[in-house]
Amino acid sequence: MGKTRTRWPGPTYSRVVPGASGRVLVVDDNKVIRQLIRVNLELEGLEVVTAADGAECLDVVHQVRPDLVTLDVAMPRLDGIRTAARLRADPRTRDVPLAIISACTQYEVEAGLEVGVDAFLAKPFEPAELVGMVRQLIERERSGGRQGAGGGSAPPYGSVLGAGEAERAGSAGG
């Protein structure tokens, strides 16, 4: 698996993963966090494209056509909540699952829920929780999308997952 530069505008990163089981757009202004998320998802067979902030995300999302977008909240130029709102307002991206990965305040969680964020993962997080959340959101989208919520073992929309909570969220219902 070699590194390849994408043709998206800006310094996004993508590694072509033959037979990838999904494509994730990871948006975070912290390069170390982007790399941590990217490595863990690539090890699970997912293709990952990264962006450094919400503005860059909006620049590349239509070319990338991700199965899931992860967003940090506090980012320069365009924060994660406003980015999520714009993705939900665009007919081309309104059904793409959105997950906030951030050390969110209760206010930010509520704001995320209002704009249609599907799940939240609190920083710091365990890699297994990250992978589980991403897999569940992608599978839920493939098996019926946002309209098909409510069944299965996927976390409910707006789940706030923290250390040790990923497994409980699917069965707790809230």
Residue 1: inside a domain, yes or no?
no
The pTM of this model reads 0.77
Q: Residue 133: what pLDDT?
A: 96
Residue 29: inside a domain, yes or no?
yes
Contacts of 89 (CB under 8 A, 6+ apart): none
Residue 7: inside a domain, yes or no?
no
Task: Mean pLDDT check: name the lowest of 21-30, 32-41, 43-52, 137-146.
Answer: 137-146
User: What sign for the dihedral angle of Cα 82, 84, 88, 92?
Assistant: positive
pLDDT digit string (tens) for 29-47? 999 999 999 999 999 999 9
Q: Which pLDDT band holds residue 155 (cuts at 50, 70, 90)?
A: very low
Q: Residue 163: what pLDDT?
A: 40
Residue 6: inside a domain, yes or no?
no
The two three-digit tokens of residue 76, written as one number: 């320069």
Q: Where are the alpha helices (DSSP H) in 90-126?
A: 106-115
Please state, rounded to an integer, the average pLDDT across all residues of the chain: 81
Reply yes or no: is the peptide bond before residue 124 cis, omega within 30 of 0: yes
Q: 60 is in which domain, residue-wise?
A: 12-145+152-172
- Answer whether residue 23 shows pLDDT above 90: yes
Q: How many domains does the chain have?
A: 1
Residue 2: inside a domain, yes or no?
no
DSSP state of 6: -
What is 33-78 written as a DSSP string?
HHHHHHHHHHHTT-EEEEESSHHHHHHHHHHH--SEEEE-SS-SSS
Higher pLDDT, 5 or 73: 73
Higher pLDDT, 132 or 163: 132
- CATH number reported for the structural domain that contains residue 21 in this entry: 3.40.50.2300
Q: Do 59 and 12 contact (CB within 8 A), yes or no?
A: no
Please give the single-letter amino acid code of residue 53. D
The C-alpha atoms of residue 98 and residue 137 are separated, in whole angstroms, by: 8
